[in-house]
Amino acid sequence: MLITMKSILKLAEARKIAAGAFNITSLEGIQAVLGAAEEAGQPVILQFAPVHETIIPLSVIGPIMVMMAENAAVPVAVHLDHGDDFKVLKQALDMGFTSVMYDGSALPFEENTAGTKIAVELAGAYGASVEGEIGAMGREEFLSVGEGEGNEASESCYTDPDQAETFVAATGIDALACSFGTVHGLYLKKPNLDLERISRIRKKVDLPIVMHGGSGISDEDFRQCINRGVRKINYYTYLAKAGGMFVKEKSAKADDIIFYHDVTMWGVEAMKKDVLHTIRVFSGIEQKEG
């Protein structure tokens, strides 16, 4: 069933868990995520990032995401991730996306605030939710996860709690993406998470906190972040890696012809397994079962 991100995050807040938000780059990705969510009996967020347009265009995969969300047996929000172009935001909303993220984090604070307010007004006409962001989560800002040892991100890269309070009050967003030590992509060394910063932001902001760069974080660190107020966790890189590495393994062991449909089935199998574990950690199921 298709619902808004705001509704899913309200449920997550009530249960003190986090909703998994998985970036989609293929039909197989949708099958893996929804299959895992239905098996776990947990709500989920399907999302598309414009950076993946070279893999598959929003115009192709977007309507499929909405259709499959509508037919899912669990609550599903369909979200545009890292939208920095109002045309793309409107394109997603016209398709039936129930949530959008306006990412003006690279802009001066005043411009980010103004742009986010426009996104809130635009999404409001569709009854959709909005995620905003302040702080930096690109690898180029967080040198501490690069090759060198001892390189640390500057304080300016992290979300300032007082600024977060001002931003939320001025924009009317439904969720806030914050920077506290995670980055997008593969971690080249152990991330240095500022967990106390999450608590400080939540004291200032009565909104769900969003973690970007969720792949590669330990289960225990996930739990610590959730305990401090993270309610949406974005996840893609290690999901894609799980599918790719399993296909590589199966292909290496194959003695005969490999058909393309074999490859896609292997990919779905591995990605679903990874998503299922991730959803269970985010929802607290894995901890209870352990």
pLDDT band at 207; cut points 50, 70, 90: very high
CA separation for the pair 131, 167 (Å, rounded): 12
Q: What percent of the chain has pLDDT over 90?
A: 80
Residue 214's pLDDT band (cuts 50, 70, 90): confident
Mean pLDDT of 110-118: 97
- Is 133 annotated as a binding-site member? yes
pLDDT value at 22 more than 80: yes
Q: Determine if residue 277 is labeled as part of a ligand binding site.
A: no
- The pLDDT assigned to 54 comes to 96
> Above pLDDT 70, what percent of the chain?
87
Residue 289 has pLDDT above 60, yes or no: no
At residue 141 the predicted structure's pLDDT band, cuts being 50, 70 and 90, is very low
Query: What is the band of 187 on the pLDDT scale with cuts at 50, 70, 90?
Result: very low
212 is in an annotated binding site: yes
Residue positions annotated with a catalytic role:
81
Compute the distance between CA of residue 102 and CA of residue 32 in angstroms, rounded to an integer: 27
Confidence tier at 190 by pLDDT (50, 70, 90): low
In the predicted structure, residue 85 carries a pLDDT above the cut 90: yes
Quick one: average pLDDT of 263-271?
97
Instruction: Dump pLDDT digits (tens) for 122-139.
Output: 999 999 999 999 976 543
Residue 61 is encoded by which pair of tokens?
């995969």
| Residue 56 structure tokens | 């598959």
For the chain, the three-class secondary structure string (H helix, E strand, C coil) is CECCHHHHHHHHHHHCCCEEEEECCCHHHHHHHHHHHHHHCCCEEEEECHHHCCCCCHHHHHHHHHHHHHCCCCCEEEEEEEECCHHHHHHHHHHCCCEEEECCCCCCHHHHHHHHHHHHHHHHCCCCEEEEEECCCCCCCCHHHCCCCCCCCCHHHCCCHHHHHHHHHHHCCCEEEECCCCCCCCCCCCCCCCHHHHHHHHHHCCCCEEECCCCCCCHHHHHHHHHCCEEEEEECHHHHHHHHHHHHHHHHHCCCCCCHHHHHHHHHHHHHHHHHHHHHHHHCHHHHHC
The per-residue pLDDT of the chain, averaged, comes to 89
CATH of 5-289, one of 3.20.20.70, 1.10.3720.10, 3.10.580.10, 3.20.20.150: 3.20.20.70
Give residue 148's pLDDT. 38
pLDDT number for residue 142:
33
The answer to whether the annotation marks 158 as part of a ligand binding site is no
Residue with tokens 């969003």: 210
pLDDT reading at 29 higher than 90: yes
Average pLDDT over residues 226-238: 95
| Cα–Cα distance, 103 to 134 (Å, whole number) | 8
At 78, is the secondary structure helix, strand, or coil? strand
